[in-house]
Copies of this chain bind each other. A is one copy, B any other.
Amino acid sequence: MSDGVEWALHSCLNLAWIGSGQAVTAARLAAYHELPPAYLNKQLQALARAGIVTSVSGPKGGFRLARALDRITLMDVVAAIEGPDEAFRCTEIRQQGPGAAAPESYAAECAIAGAMSRAELAWRRELMAQTLDDVRARAELQAPDAPERLRHWLAHL
């Protein structure tokens, strides 16, 4: 999984802490965690295409959350950044080579692909079961002053 997933998740939490009304540039979001701005911008564009953040143009432009954190699951963010493909990609090698039977013998899903898909499904279910608001609540328990530190830094830039 790319680092972009970690960056996107932290950026969503940061946007929530900043407040839904305010748009923040990718450069500022990147500076807050010393991330490369161009690459974070790419991740934020991906979140925008997925409808998780909104891209606002103009002098006060930037990104803001498109909906509340309790309506964004971890799966939404992972799918936005990593794409919809499963981690295990079946290339149907059972149909390749001298052991292959007639094509009509392969109507049923390969047993190996099916087994790997069950594990992928368990992973996706767990990602879907957790919203970013659950994560935010735990983060604030650990670091109650994190939102204020961020707002203070932004206000004094």
Contact = CB atoms under 8 A, between A and B. Distances in A.
A56 interface: no
A13 B105 CA distance: 18
Interface in A91-130: 91, 93-94, 96-99, 101, 105, 108, 110-112, 114-116, 118-127, 130
A35 B111 CA distance: 19
B6 A153 contact: no
Interface residues of A, number: 57
Contacts of A60: none
Interface stretch (A19-27, A47-55, A61-69, A141-149): A141-149
Given A6-B89, A108-B142, 16 more contacts: A9-B112, A10-B94, A31-B98, A33-B94, A34-B96, A74-B115, A74-B119, A98-B153, A99-B150, A101-B143, A101-B149, A112-B139, A118-B130, A119-B127, A122-B125, A123-B126
10 contacts: A3-B89, A5-B88, A6-B88, A9-B116, A10-B93, A35-B96, A98-B153, A101-B143, A111-B135, A119-B124
